[in-house]
């Protein structure tokens, strides 16, 4: 997608040196577009953990390049094991991280060490290119839902939570891909962007992305989504996900479950967009079996923004003696999910439907 007319992906290999990895530091958005150069495994692990890069598919692609950086320094079997272990420990919930690391191990382990670095860069590049193709397909399938609503007349209002746009993937996004395609094809769409406390990925990233692409949108407090549904102002909910179980339970950014409940109560379709690399075929029960990342209390007790003098400032918003809890994700049971938008088409959030559509993976 474009930033001020220049096409970008969220991660790429530096064109000048041909090996270091460039990312957009997402902790600096929307205030500045800082392109960061990463040269070591440790720097990549830090970028994932501290959320300079985030979003399930992008975490996977970043981990793949983390392995490539590690192999450039030391391509021994021990170094490969250590790199994979280090990257796998950065964030626990998004399954794409483990998926990408599994793909890297399968490709690199059988090779002689001298061939591993070049093969790692090639495999990481393939993971990125595949992600772009998969998201484009998700966009095409999701577009049919928006076209269907548009035929009823008027602008289509879509509510989304967190950021499942191009910044969360290599390009296009998952939940936002159908929206970009609808907008590009001339359909009148408008997006309700939930701010997504505590880290505000909706207010800072989704709003920024949509704004850069000219997609009409309105930022709302997380607590306002149900109100707009009650008043008939939401035609569809589309969110992304960090892990889907084989029975179709959906783990996504904290607060998603409440929107699914509100959507069910108001008869609003609740769709989840995902690449098949987000499905964890080893588990059924999302509530019991998905590890939920606990992040620092400071993300809840403070907020960061631009002060009136232009400086970026962090302020405390909670009494200094009050503790805070910060689960980063929640699980929406399959029964609340209208359907899944995958690269192979629309699919019911049910084990039989998922295993039929992905027979070769399940």
- Give min distance, CB of 328 to ligand MRU, in A: 5
- Please, where are the H alpha helices in the chain? 41-49, 56-73, 77-88, 95-108, 113-150, 177-184, 201, 207-213, 225-230, 256-266, 286-289, 298-301, 351-357
Nearer to ligand MRU, 52 or 80 (CB): 52
Interface residue with ligand MRU, options 54, 72, 98, 213 (CB under 6 A): 54
Length of the chain: 362
Binding mask 143-162 toward ligand MRU (x if CB under 6 A, else -) reads -------------------x
Expressed in angstroms, the distance from the first to the final Cα of the chain is 32
Nearer to ligand MRU, 57 or 225 (CB): 57
Nearer to ligand MRU, 58 or 108 (CB): 58
73 with 136: CB under 8 angstroms? Answer: no
Catalytic residue among 242, 249, 280, 330: 242
Interface residue with ligand MRU, options 10, 62, 201, 204 (CB under 6 A): 201
d(CA 132, CA 128): 6
Nearer to ligand MRU, 75 or 241 (CB): 241
- Interaction with ligand MRU in 229-248: which residues (CB under 6 A)? 240-242
d(CA 289, CA 282): 10
d(CA 6, CA 228): 35
- Give min distance, CB of 84 to ligand MRU, in A: 20
C-alpha angle 168-267-326 in degrees, rounded to nearest 5: 40
Nearer to ligand MRU, 106 or 287 (CB): 287
Phi then psi for 43, rounded to 5 degrees? -65, -40
- Give min distance, CB of 109 to ligand MRU, in A: 28
- Interaction with ligand MRU in 58-97: which residues (CB under 6 A)? 94
d(CA 43, CA 45): 5
Nearer to ligand MRU, 54 or 217 (CB): 54
- Give min distance, CB of 118 to ligand MRU, in A: 29
Asked if 168 is part of the footprint of ligand MRU (rule: CB under 6 A), the reply reads yes
H-run or E-run covering 156: strand 156-160
Q: Bin 209: left if φ > 0, else alpha if -120 < ψ < 50, else beta.
A: alpha
d(CA 332, CA 349): 11
Binding mask 305-344 toward ligand MRU (x if CB under 6 A, else -) reads -----------------------x----------------
350 with 248: CB under 8 angstroms? Answer: yes
Binding mask 102-141 toward ligand MRU (x if CB under 6 A, else -) reads ----------------------------------------
Three-state secondary structure call for residue 105: helix
d(CA 175, CA 164): 5
| Residue 131 falls in the annotated catalytic set | no
d(CA 346, CA 349): 10
- Give min distance, CB of 309 to ligand MRU, in A: 29
Nearer to ligand MRU, 26 or 247 (CB): 26
- The one segment of 62-70, 98-106, 146-154, 167-175 that binds ligand MRU by CB under 6 A: 167-175
- Interaction with ligand MRU in 244-273: which residues (CB under 6 A)? 252-253
Size of the site for ligand MRU (CB under 6 A): 18
- Give min distance, CB of 242 to ligand MRU, in A: 5
Name the nearest CA neighbour of 210 among 228, 234, 226, 194: 194
Nearer to ligand MRU, 10 or 247 (CB): 10
Q: Provide the annotated active-site residues.
A: 242
Binding site for ligand MRU (CB under 6 A): 54-57, 94, 162, 164, 168-169, 173-174, 201, 240-242, 252-253, 328
């Amino acid at each position: 997608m474009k930033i001020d007319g220049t096409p970008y992906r969220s991660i790429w290999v530096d064109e000048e040196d041909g090996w270091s990895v460039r990312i957009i530091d997402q902790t600096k958005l929307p205030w500045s577009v800082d392109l960061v150069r990463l040269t070591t495994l440790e720097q990549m692990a830090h970028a994932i953990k501290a959320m300079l890069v985030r979003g399930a598919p992008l975490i996977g692609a970043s981990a793949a390049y983390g392995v490539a950086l590690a192999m450039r320094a030391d391509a021994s079997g021990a170094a490969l094991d250590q790199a994979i272990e280090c990257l796998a420990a950065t964030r626990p919930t998004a399954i794409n991280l483990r998926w990408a690391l599994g793909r890297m191990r399968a490709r690199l382990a059988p090779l002689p060490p001298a061939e591993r670095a070049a093969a790692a860069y090639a495999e990481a590049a393939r993971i990125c290119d595949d992600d772009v193709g998969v998201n484009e397909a998700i966009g095409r399938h999701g577009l049919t839902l928006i076209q269907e609503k548009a035929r009823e007349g008027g602008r289509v209002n879509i509510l989304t939570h967190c950021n499942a746009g191009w910044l969360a993937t290599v390009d296009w996004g998952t939940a936002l891909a159908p929206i970009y395609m609808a907008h590009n094809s001339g359909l009148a769409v408008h997006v309700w962007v939930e701010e997504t406390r505590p880290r505000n990925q909706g207010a800072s990233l989704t709003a920024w992305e949509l704004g850069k692409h000219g997609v009409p949108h309105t930022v709302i407090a997380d607590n306002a989504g149900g109100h707009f549904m009650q008043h008939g102002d939401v035609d569809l909910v589309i969110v992304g996900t960090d892990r889907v179980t084989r029975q179709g339970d959906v783990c996504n950014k904290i607060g998603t479950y409440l929107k699914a409940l509100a959507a069910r109560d108001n008869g609003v379709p609740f769709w989840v967009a995902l690449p098949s690399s987000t499905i964890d075929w080893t588990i059924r029960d999302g509530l019991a079996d998905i590890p939920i990342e606990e992040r620092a209390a400071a993300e809840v007790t403070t907020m960061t923004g631009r002060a009136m003098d232009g400086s970026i400032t962090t302020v405390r918003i909670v009494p200094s003696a009050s503790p805070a809890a910060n689960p980063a994700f929640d699980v929406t049971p399959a029964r609340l999910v209208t359907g899944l938008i995958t690269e192979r088409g629309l699919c019911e959030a049910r084990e039989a439907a998922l295993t039929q559509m992905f027979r070769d993976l399940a």
